[in-house]
A = this chain, B = another copy of it.
């Protein structure tokens, strides 16, 4: 499946076959898709908890407004940030040229250690790049997905044993759809979302096809 088709056909599906399981190879494909997403300074400031145990998924469902897809998906992935990634740059700069390693090794802790908002924003960005990759790759593999933020972060952390440096920032359910997504609720027009060269300058008009 080409990228354009995957982007157009990816929709948030809520109804998955609870009996469907992913093979180890399929799980590996999703892991690769997530891990190859870009991160700032190559920090890889994310941690993915792949939940395939139905008991764990049932607990997560209870912590997620009782949304059925959390239990019924083939895998429920909790994407956590790694808020201390900036302290351990030697792990992810090991193959960098020495001058880059020295420079980045000083810049990274200064840049992120001094700015908690930037650090949290960065974790949100990194998990989202990774999740989008997984969603498109899932579509290509004949699967569907639903990204979710409707969960209680404290309860999810407790269920999975996440520590305070690894807040759950996104949940992603992936599985075999039993029902298609509902029609789109309303795409904004290009003019509402896109400016050119200056905020509020809208030479590009029109809407995208709704389905």
Contact = CB atoms under 8 A, between A and B. Distances in A.
Interface string A90-107: 011111100010000000
A206 B182 CA distance: 39
Q: How many copies does the complex hold?
A: 2
Interface string A32-62: 1111111010101011111111001000000
A7 interface: yes
Contacts of A48: 193-195
A92 B131 CA distance: 23
Nearest to A56: B197
A67 interface: no
Contacts of A122: 149
25 contacts: A3-B3, A31-B204, A34-B193, A35-B193, A44-B193, A46-B193, A47-B193, A47-B199, A48-B193, A49-B197, A49-B199, A50-B195, A50-B196, A51-B196, A53-B197, A94-B185, A94-B186, A121-B149, A122-B149, A125-B125, A125-B128, A128-B128, A128-B132, A160-B197, A160-B198
Interface of A: 1-4, 6-8, 10, 12, 27-29, 31-38, 40, 42, 44, 46-53, 56, 80, 91-96, 100, 117-118, 120-122, 124-129, 131-133, 135-137, 139-140, 147, 149, 160-163, 166, 169-170, 183-188, 190, 192-200, 204, 208, 210
